[in-house]
Amino acid sequence: MSTRAKKVILIGLDAPIAHRIFELAQEGKLPAFKRLVENGVCAENCLVPFPTVTPPNWTTISTRAWPGTHGITSFHTHMPGDPFLEEIQSWDSAECKAETIWEAAARAGKRIIIINYPSTHGLNPESGIRLGGTSMFINSFRVGLPGRGGPAGLAKDQVFSTDEYLIDSTHIELRPASDWSNVPAGTKVLEADLPLKYRGPLTPLKPRTWHMLVVASDGKSFDQVVVS
């Protein structure tokens, strides 16, 4: 006897390295993904629309239509009739000409919650809630802005690493911790400074630095991180 799911959650990661996600899941380093693979359906060779950029790809996932059908064909959209070939960024759901899975579900009487799904600005299905969707990150608003340049948000993702491997990552160095209060006796601790990077803010922001404490609670293996 089969049972039909009453709830469905769609989780998207923008621009991951897909085969590394799969490998890390198999190694047990991403246990939630491992459970999803083992208890669900895993397709390793999916077709993607071209160009392989955020707005058309996420819109294809939500509509099962190719860009030529749903109408969001790039990061930027040329407005018909504009003699100067000006563009605006493609985050407005009004540009989408195909029905989304949320609109179809709402039409079937289901309750919908959308949290920062790209290119869903303006999409408000009945009996539903939408947060964000105006860019790749929730604190950015890029609807109607020029296709090239222009600050639009508070900050992008903050990546701090002891390795230098990402364009927007900040390299940090761990050192023996000093002058911290309330550190339990017998623990081994390291510290690092976390200088926050505000990339592309609408309003200039003062520099701010957070501090990180890495703790070996058993005095041997590091197992906790405290951000202050």
pLDDT tens digits, one per residue of 82-125: 777 678 889 999 999 999 999 999 998 999 999 999 999 999 88
Tell whether 42 and 106 lie within a shared domain.
no
Q: What is the pLDDT of residue 218?
A: 86
Q: What is the pLDDT of residue 5?
A: 73
* Domain region containing 114: 47-149
Which of 20-24, 58-62, 168-172 is least confident? 168-172
- The pLDDT tens digits of the residues spanning 176-189 come to 999 898 887 778 99
Which of 69-73, 156-160, 193-197 is least confident? 156-160
Query: What distances in angstroms separate CA 169 from CA 91, 158, 186, 199, one per listed residue?
Result: 25, 7, 33, 12
Q: What is the pLDDT of residue 115?
A: 94
Tell whether 37 and 70 lie within a shared domain.
no
Tell whether 145 and 52 lie within a shared domain.
yes
pLDDT, greater one: 158 or 119: 119
Q: What is the pLDDT of residue 184?
A: 79
Tell whether 78 and 171 lie within a shared domain.
no
Tell whether 68 and 79 lie within a shared domain.
yes
d(CA 140, CA 128) in angstroms, rounded, equals 22
Q: Is 1 part of any domain?
A: no
Q: Is 25 part of any domain?
A: yes
pLDDT, greater one: 30 or 142: 30
- 170 pairs with which residues across the strands? 160
Tell whether 66 and 115 lie within a shared domain.
yes
Q: What is the pLDDT of residue 204?
A: 74
Residue 162 has pLDDT above 60, yes or no: yes
Instruction: Find out whether 147 and 88 touch, Cβ atoms under 8 Å.
Output: yes
Q: Is 3 part of any domain?
A: no
Tokens of residue 204, six digits: 């200039």
Tell whether 144 and 216 lie within a shared domain.
no
Phi, psi of 128 (to 5 degrees): -135, 165
Phi, psi of 24 (to 5 degrees): -65, -35
Tell whether 26 and 79 lie within a shared domain.
no
Q: What is the pLDDT of residue 182?
A: 87
Tell whether 114 and 138 lie within a shared domain.
yes
Number of domains making up the chain: 3
- The pLDDT tens digits of the residues spanning 2-56 come to 677 788 888 888 888 888 888 999 999 999 999 988 888 888 778 888 888 999 9
Tell whether 38 and 56 lie within a shared domain.
no
Tell whether 138 and 187 lie within a shared domain.
no
